[in-house]
Structure 1
């Protein structure tokens, strides 16, 4: 059987009966081999030198001598290789010389005798001990300038946008993170940072109608103008403001060592004006605008995430406020937005957790002071923000659709309470309960079925339920909303128009809709507050509205009645009922029970 001869193939387990060949350790090289090694050392293109334990060059090849520009023999090797330029490198080098470290490699920028600069990779490796010469190391130098230049070129491509040649998102965040390192701010620094975050208004339309090539040329032209604005705003500690393209039509101008909001505001105004000038793209004239979010704050305590969140929010405000403008970050407005988001995320489960309660405000007859009805007003007992009035959360509920669930709960609670009052006060005049209904409840739920089921469940007579809809929701109603209102009216439920006089005011619809009551907006009543100098016009308008309503068979309730003088003037005009703090704030159900059948005092 053939096989690999012993000693020439892979290592194998010892076989009984077989002896391994003896390997003798060579004690050194022959004179001929030494001559060959020295010849190879001298002829090598790689600069090399043998260095003793003191760091002095024992011998160097021609390439190393050329690099040094002189014969380095007997001189410190570190003098030619910049190894003493920093403490860490110097210590590592000394550790190799003394035998405490086996190998060391570093990169250094060296000056060639011909004047050019090169990047060199320097390696120090111990040589076998020479009993006569003592411990020595081999120092070799590799020119890595081309490799380093290629790496730098690749990094530049990686960190810059191909269309605009501006720094891209990656480089922007690198620079931003470095700028937010407060330890890097020395004496004379402001310790502040600013950011203008912008995008172009309607850029998508340019791409869609004129094509991406024109869109790219526009982006490049915008980048040029932004750079001009940044360069004209002075220098920062980094040598200038950083202008970057963050993606799409979004750009950022980073201002290090900001001097305050005025500097950022001036820069934003300059950028806005520059971008509003028409662009001439190879004979094609384009006009664009931009929305800019401006943030300026102290570096201490700020992170890149927080700064960008603030900038993004502020840019959204600029868009929301009408575009083609700049907006400064407002902590109070942001706090309101954050609160709104927090409410939105917890509103729907809050109904299930029982965090809502209904309070009631009396509607009092102006002629006799008797409580005729009550308006149900929902309150949110929020575990974090305390008790919230409807104006804090109803619009949120309408936006996310939870108004349907919440509205159904309020309607059921109010009807159940009104039925309880009816049972508890059989000898008193019954009071109706008025419940607000959002437009979305009419569209997104079967309101007629809900009302019918709740009335049957609670035992409340239909004529003791009044549903309030805003004027803007009722006026112009057609189709499903109108059918729902008519069905509710046919059922016996009262329909009232809330905040009358502030919406469309298309009075012709009053004769066509199944409406039984108008609630005058508080703005009309507030005009009666100056009792010493009454405005005749206010009284004339309210009197005309009351007379019109009466001729159409409608009753009129005045909201926001706060003084006895207002009540007297409204009574004289002929208004039917009043609602406001003069009579009572919204109170829990047990307080309303005290008013059932009793005469109020303010007349």
Structure 2
């Protein structure tokens, strides 16, 4: 019996020793894991926290001190939720509740206060620790500071919707706001808005004369002034407890737009537009120089006819262009008549492109004669449009649209080639033996186009026409617009042996000094002066002065628009050598022009034998 007692005691001792060994090994494993956990948390860049289910902090890694500035003792004195931004606390509490219930933590972002009072943005992921009963007892939260990343994202988003030069909302944001306003107006009866489109007048001149840096300074200052005026208008509207809600945007280049909510009367928009113009017109100083800018403003109000947000912008653009066409520094309100003209203009531009592709353009020729002998000296090639439904259309009806769209450059090149080709054909069939010339009009776009010289050479090479037989004609307005360019281009033409004529002379702003510099061969007196010379003494005096001036400068003189025998007699008395007009012949097709040449030759021979 005594032996069995000793055996039982021995077994018990062995069991105790085994259990102690197991506990020792478990503690050693736990300490190893704890050391690993400590090593990871102590050196981790992310902040790692251990909290109980009530949010009390049980452990905070040293990264909290580096990132948020709080010491462990300072953190232990507060709940983990106290530093969280008030607007974010409910989200964090909800995420903690879900983690306790589901055992799965979710990723979320929230703001937490730094010790210096600023707010940092954290990206947080929580995992759970369960107790022996399988219930969530603790949360391990890993927080990463993403403040700089969020700031970079916000800056990127800001840049996406704002103009970098002026800081104003850009076209992208404008179109978004316009879409919102458009949808609201269609949804809510009685709501309306207006759009102001402002364009800085002659901004290209500022850039060319003062440089792009000065141009940027002008745009920045204009943007500041417009912003101040709009804020003042909003303040006044609040004082009146009514009024417009105005937003300013920079569309790009030298264009700004103002969206006016709750404006239904054009007069309200016009009042604001004029105040903005006044602000822009105030002098500003750049590099010790006083500069004055101005703006043209187009105004459009939303109507039931608008089916897309962009429609009101197009209307404002039409009104703005009208303001610029009327001299600039004006406000124009879009109306239905203007809309009709705009739609007609768009159709005209489309028809012009079709006309060029389908070869609907024609050339008519009007002879220029030596007034005393009636001998044909040249033919002026005049563009006509043979429209499939409207018949023959004068260039006065479409030349502006062709010029604005740039299609006139292509049309001009085609006309030059065709005129030279026709001249070559006449030379083959001409029996008079006298040299014939053809005159081609050059538009402002063509004159400024760098390809003009190549186009002329191409036309001459294709047709084999002697350059001296070709004359180019440009208006006095085109020549005086950029005197330096005019001298350069005309000098090149002179070098080629091509003659040049200054058209519409007597109605433009060319100075005598400028005229002396222009290497032209002839002056063409404007038809308005010829028409009025019989009834207006001043017009007659101007014609006489032009002829005298031309002779003094060894230039030929051509009178345009001769329609009566009395006009012809007076021009001969004044010593004008050449002329053209309906008195001699209206513009005609090439075949008719050849017949006219032959008739003139017969008439001259008959006159010589009699």
After TM superposition, the score normalised by the length of structure 2 is 0.53
Secondary structure of the structure 2 residue equivalent to 1:251? strand
Match of 2:549 in 1: 548
User: Does structure 1 residue 225 correspond to structure 2 residue 232?
Assistant: yes
Q: Deviations over 1:323-346 (max 9, x none)?
A: 765321144445555555555567
Say if 1:406 and 1:325 are closer, same or farther in 2 by CA, change over 3 A: closer
User: Does structure 1 residue 374 correspond to structure 2 residue 375?
Assistant: no
Say if 1:324 and 1:539 are closer, same or farther in 2 by CA, change over 3 A: closer
Of 492, 495, 503, the match for 1:484: 492
User: Does structure 1 residue 197 correspond to structure 2 residue 196?
Assistant: yes
Deviation at 1:546, TM superposition (A): 1.6
Q: Give the whole-Å Cα distance in 2 for the aligned partners of 1:210 and 1:376.
A: 45
Structure richer in helix, relative to its length:
2
Deviation at 1:376, TM superposition (A): 0.1
Secondary structure of the structure 1 residue equivalent to 2:576? coil
User: Does structure 1 residue 591 correspond to structure 2 residue 592?
Assistant: yes
Match of 2:568 in 1: 567
User: Does structure 1 residue 539 correspond to structure 2 residue 540?
Assistant: yes
Match of 1:178 in 2: 184
| Count of equivalent residues | 412
Secondary structure of the structure 1 residue equivalent to 2:596? coil
Say if 1:322 and 1:206 are closer, same or farther in 2 by CA, change over 3 A: farther
Say if 1:175 and 1:443 are closer, same or farther in 2 by CA, change over 3 A: closer
Q: Give the whole-Å Cα distance in 1 for the aligned partners of 2:183 and 2:542.
A: 62
Say if 1:596 and 1:332 are closer, same or farther in 2 by CA, change over 3 A: farther
Say if 1:330 and 1:598 are closer, same or farther in 2 by CA, change over 3 A: farther
Contact (CA 8 Å) 1:368, 1:599: kept in 2 or not? no
Q: Give the whole-Å Cα distance in 1 for the aligned partners of 2:472 and 2:458.
A: 15
- Give the alignment of 1:322-341 within 5 angstroms: 325-337=330-342, 340=345
Match of 2:471 in 1: 466
Q: Deviations over 1:167-192 (max 9, x none)?
A: x96566445433335xx65xxxxx79
Deviation at 1:193, TM superposition (A): 4.6
Deviation at 1:361, TM superposition (A): 1.5
User: Does structure 1 residue 359 correspond to structure 2 residue 364?
Assistant: yes
Match of 1:528 in 2: 533
Say if 1:446 and 1:483 are closer, same or farther in 2 by CA, change over 3 A: farther
Q: Give the whole-Å Cα distance in 1 for the aligned partners of 2:457 and 2:218.
A: 57
Q: Deviations over 1:140-188 (max 9, x none)?
A: xxxxxxxxxxxxxxxxxx9xx9x999xx96566445433335xx65xxx
Say if 1:591 and 1:332 are closer, same or farther in 2 by CA, change over 3 A: farther
Contact (CA 8 Å) 1:344, 1:396: kept in 2 or not? yes
Secondary structure of the structure 2 residue equivalent to 1:561? coil
Deviation at 1:312, TM superposition (A): 4.3
Secondary structure of the structure 2 residue equivalent to 1:595? helix
Contact (CA 8 Å) 1:293, 1:328: kept in 2 or not? yes
- Give the alignment of 1:98-497 within 5 angstroms: 173-181=179-187, 185=189, 193=192, 195-197=194-196, 221-228=228-235, 230=237, 241-245=244-248, 250-255=257-262, 258=264, 261-262=266-267, 264-265=269-270, 268-269=273-274, 292-296=297-301, 298-299=303-304, 303-315=308-320, 318=323, 325-337=330-342, 340=345, 350-381=355-386, 387-391=392-396, 394=399, 402-427=407-432, 431-438=436-443, 441=446, 444=449, 451=456, 454-455=459-460, 457-458=462-463, 460-471=465-476, 472-473=478-479, 480-489=488-497, 493-497=498-502
Deviation at 1:247, TM superposition (A): 6.7
Q: Deviations over 1:251-307 (max 9, x none)?
A: 322346x4x5456545655776799899xxxxxxxx998764322465366654322
Say if 1:505 and 1:242 are closer, same or farther in 2 by CA, change over 3 A: closer
Q: Give the whole-Å Cα distance in 2 for the aligned partners of 1:207 and 1:362.
A: 49
User: Does structure 1 residue 577 correspond to structure 2 residue 571?
Assistant: no
Contact (CA 8 Å) 1:363, 1:375: kept in 2 or not? yes
Say if 1:440 and 1:270 are closer, same or farther in 2 by CA, change over 3 A: closer
Deviation at 1:375, TM superposition (A): 0.5
Q: Give the whole-Å Cα distance in 1 for the aligned partners of 2:218 and 2:468.
A: 63
Contact (CA 8 Å) 1:200, 1:290: kept in 2 or not? yes
Say if 1:233 and 1:579 are closer, same or farther in 2 by CA, change over 3 A: farther
Q: Give the whole-Å Cα distance in 1 for the aligned partners of 2:574 and 2:359.
A: 43
Contact (CA 8 Å) 1:371, 1:596: kept in 2 or not? yes
Contact (CA 8 Å) 2:248, 2:259: kept in 1 or not? yes
Secondary structure of the structure 1 residue equivalent to 2:597? coil
Unaligned runs of 5+ in 2: 1-157, 204-211, 284-291, 604-610
Say if 1:422 and 1:510 are closer, same or farther in 2 by CA, change over 3 A: same
Match of 1:22 in 2: none
Contact (CA 8 Å) 2:355, 2:361: kept in 1 or not? yes
Q: Give the whole-Å Cα distance in 2 for the aligned partners of 1:360 and 1:427.
A: 19
Q: Give the whole-Å Cα distance in 1 for the aligned partners of 2:219 and 2:446.
A: 44
Say if 1:598 and 1:247 are closer, same or farther in 2 by CA, change over 3 A: closer
The CA RMSD over aligned residues, in Å, is: 5.0
Unaligned runs of 5+ in 1: 1-157, 186-190, 279-286
Contact (CA 8 Å) 1:231, 1:241: kept in 2 or not? no
Q: Give the whole-Å Cα distance in 1 for the aligned partners of 2:225 and 2:519.
A: 57
Contact (CA 8 Å) 1:243, 1:252: kept in 2 or not? yes
Q: Give the whole-Å Cα distance in 2 for the aligned partners of 1:569 and 1:514.
A: 28
Q: Give the whole-Å Cα distance in 1 for the aligned partners of 2:439 and 2:343.
A: 33
Say if 1:192 and 1:321 are closer, same or farther in 2 by CA, change over 3 A: farther
